[in-house]
Amino acid sequence: MSFHSQSSALKRYIKDTFEQFVSPIETVQWSTWETNDDMPDGKHIIWVGFYTLSMALSNIDNHFSIDEVDFFRDIKNIFDVEDSNVAALPSEKLLHIYKDNFEENRHLFGEIKVPIAVEYLDIYDNAYGTDFGQSARTMYFRFANAFVKADGTVNEAEVEALEKLKSLLYPLENDTVEVSSISFGSPKNEETSPRSFDELMAELDNLIGLNNVKRDVLEMINFLKVQQLREAKGLSVTPTTKHLVFYGNPGTGKTMIARLLAEIYKELNVINKGHLVETDRAGLVAGYVGQTALKVHEVVNRALGGVLFIDEAYTLKSDSGDFGAEAIDTLLKLMEDNRNNLIVIVAGYTEKMKAFLSANPGLKSRFNKYLFFEDYSPEELKNIFLKLCQDASFHVTDTAKEKIFGIFNILSKHKDESFGNARLARNIFEKAVNNQANRIIVISEITETILSTIEVSDIPDELEIQLSISSIYK
C-alpha cells in the first residue's frame, strides 16, 4: 500500500491545525498594508510554506515521484489551490507537469528555508505573548518528514535536509530568533492562578439574583459535557455555535457572567486560554478606509483562545454610512475562520439588540443562544449593596438596611432602560462611604467600630441619589 493511502492522519492534522494561524498572519500583514498592496491572505501564506518546502526537498534528490505528487495533491486540496482542470488529471500526467514546473523554477529552491508563515507568526507571538510560531514549526516539520518518506525511501541527502530544516525551525535555546519589533498594543499579561471547575460553578451559584441566567448557563454546560462524553465514546455529536447574545439593561451582570463563562469553557477544554477581551464600537470601528478591518483583526486576535465581549453591539449598525458595516463583515469572517478557538458574546439593550440582529441575517445565523438579564429586584439590590459593604469591611445597621431597601424600592418603580441596577448599588455605596467619612471625621476618638459602621444618616436620600447619578444614567 502506498504512502498516499496511509497519510490521512497527517492530512487531518494539517487541516485541523492551520486555520488557527490565518488571523494572526493577516494581523501582521495588515500592520504594514498599503493601498496598492494585495489584500492580506493568511491561508495563502501558509500554503506557500508547504509549496516551497516540497520543492526544496525535491531539489535535494533531484526527483519527484508519483507518490510524492499524490501526497502533495492532497495537501493542495486542503487549501483549495488546485485548478479544476489540473486536479482531474491522472497522477502520471500531473507528474510531468510538476517536473516541468520544477525544472523551470529549480533556481528558486536551492536551499531549505523557514516558511514565511512562521516568520509572520513569530512577529505576532512577540507582540502578544502567544505561541503560534512553535505550533506552525511542528506542522511544517511533520509535513517535511512525511514528504521525504512518500516515495518509500529516504536517502542521506534528504536526512541532511531534514536536519538542516530542524536546526532552522528549532535553534538552540541560547540562540535568539530575530523577529520584527512591530507593536500591536498587546494586552497586559496578568498572572492569575486558574480556578477549578467546581470553584467557578460555586461562584456562579453564589451570585446574587440572575436565577434565569444561572439556569441557562448550567444547561449550556451540561450540553457541552454530554457532547464531550459522546465524542469520547465514538458517537456522533451535534454541531452547534457557542456564540451568545446577552440581552438586558446596564448593570445586570453581563460582563461578570461573560468572564465566568470564559474560565468555565477553558476548564471544559472548549477554548484554550479562558480570558475575556471587552470592546465596543470605538474599539472596532475606525474613521478611515482600511483601518476598521485592521482594528477588528487586532481585537479578535487578542481574544483568540477566549471570549470576545462586544458591549452595545447594536451601535455597530448605523445609518450614517460609516464603517460599522465593514466591522460586522470582518467580524463574521473571523468568527468563521476561528470557530474552534473563539467565542463571541454580543450584548446590549433588549429591544435594540433584537432590531440589530434582525437587520443582520449573517450575524443572527451565528447566534443560537440568547440569555436575558433581568433587572435586579429591590431586595437583590439591597443585598448587592450589603455585599459591597461586607467586602469593604463595613457593618450596616438595621435602620440603614431598611432605608436602603426603601430607596431601591422607590427607584425601581420609576426606572427606565437606563436604570443602573448593580452600578446604582455601587454608586450609592460609594456615596454612603463618603458621607460616613464626613460624619466621623469630627469625632475626637474614632474607634474601629466607628470606622466600620454605616449608619442610617450615611445613606443618601432619594433626591441626593437622583442628583448624583443623573449625569451617569440619563
pLDDT at 453: 93
**pLDDT tier at 189, thresholds 50, 70, 90:** very low
How many other C-beta atoms lie within 10 A of the C-beta of residue 369? 17
Please check the confidence at residue 185 and state whether its pLDDT lies above 80.
no
**pLDDT at residue 1, rounded to an integer:** 37
Count the neighbouring beta carbons within 10 Å of the beta carbon of residue 423: 17
Average pLDDT of the segment spanning 277-304: 81
Is residue 356 within 8 Å of 38, Cβ to Cβ?
no
User: In the structure grid, which three cell numbers stand for residue 162, read together?
Assistant: 531534514
Q: Please, is 356 exposed, middle or buried when counting C-beta atoms within 10 Å of its C-beta (0-12, 13-18, 19+)? A: buried
pLDDT at position 174 is 35
- Express as a percent the part of the chain with pLDDT over 70: 77
pTM above 0.85, yes or no: no
Please give the single-letter amino acid code of residue 251: G
pLDDT of residue 100: 59
Question: In the 3-class helix/strand/coil scheme, how is the chain assigned residue by residue?
Answer: CCHHHHCHHHHHHHHHHHHHHHHHHHHHHHHCCCCCCCCCCHHHHHHHHHHHHHHHHHHHHCCCCHHHHHHHHHHHHHHCCCCHHHHCCCHHHHHHHHHHHHHHCHHHHCCCCCCHHHHHHHHHHHHHCCCHHHHHHHHHHHHHHHHHHCCCCCCHHHHHHHHHHHHHHCCCCCCCCCCCCCCCCCCCCCCCCCCCHHHHHHHHHHCCCCHHHHHHHHHHHHHHHHHHHHHHCCCCCCCCCCCEEEEECCCCCHHHHHHHHHHHHHHCCCCCCCCEEEECHHHHCCCCCCHHHHHHHHHHHHHCCCEEEECCHHHHCCCCCCCHHHHHHHHHHHHHHCCCCCEEEEEECHHHHHHHHHCCHHHHCCCCEEEEECCCCHHHHHHHHHHHHHHCCCEECHHHHHHHHHHHHHHHHCCCCCCCCHHHHHHHHHHHHHHHHHHHCCCCCCCHHHHCEECHHHCCCHHHHHHHHHHHHC
The count of residues in the chain is 474
**Non-local CB neighbours of 253 within 8 Å, separated by 6+ positions:** 207, 209, 210, 213, 373, 422
Contact 259, 352 (CB under 8 A): no
Angle at 67 between CA 65 and CA 69, to 5 degrees: 70
Q: How confident is the model at residue 218 (pLDDT cuts 50, 70, 90)?
A: very high
**What pLDDT does 65 receive?**
60
Instruction: Find the mean pLDDT for residues 294-321.
Output: 83
pLDDT digits (tens, 9 = 90+) for 28-43: 888 777 767 778 888 8
Has residue 469 got a pLDDT over 90?
Answer: no
Q: Check if the beta carbon of residue 411 is closer than 8 Å to that of residue 444.
A: no
State the Cα–Cα distance between residues 413 and 425, nearest whole angstrom: 15
Distance from C-alpha of 213 to C-alpha of 371, rounded to nearest angstrom: 6
Is the per-residue pLDDT at 371 higher than 60? yes
Q: Please give the domain boundaries of the chain with CATH numbers for all domains.
A: 3-169 (no CATH), 197-373 (3.40.50.300), 378-473 (1.10.8.60)
* Contacts of residue 123, Cβ cutoff 8 Å, sequence gap at least 6: 28, 179, 180, 182
* In the predicted structure, residue 247 carries a pLDDT above the cut 70: yes
What pLDDT was estimated at residue 257?
Answer: 93
pLDDT given at position 309 = 93
Residue 258 confidence (pLDDT) = 92
Q: What is the structure's pLDDT at 93?
A: 57
Pairing of strands 244-248, 276-279: unpaired
pLDDT at 61 over 70: no
The whole-number average pLDDT for the span 43-72 is 74
Please, which pLDDT band fits residue 89 given cuts at 50, 70 and 90?
Answer: low
Q: For the ranges 77-81, 307-311, 328-332, 342-346, which has the lowest average pLDDT?
A: 77-81
Output phi, psi for 349, to 5 deg: -55, 140
* 388-447 per-position pLDDT tens digit: 999 989 999 999 999 999 999 888 888 876 678 898 898 899 889 999 999 998 888 889
Higher pLDDT, 181 or 120: 120
Q: Give the tens place of pLDDT for each residue, 121-170.
A: 888 877 777 778 888 888 888 888 877 777 667 778 778 888 888 888 87
Q: Work out the mean pLDDT of the chain and round it to a whole number.
A: 79
Give me the amino acid identity at 63.
H
Rounded Cα distance, 440 and 447, in Å: 10
Q: Look at residue 179 in the predicted model and tell me its pLDDT.
A: 36
d(CA 259, CA 272): 14
Query: According to the model, what pLDDT value does residue 416 have?
Result: 73
CA of 195: how far to CAs of 165, 200, 203, 222, 266, in Å? 40, 7, 10, 19, 10
pLDDT reported for residue 190: 44
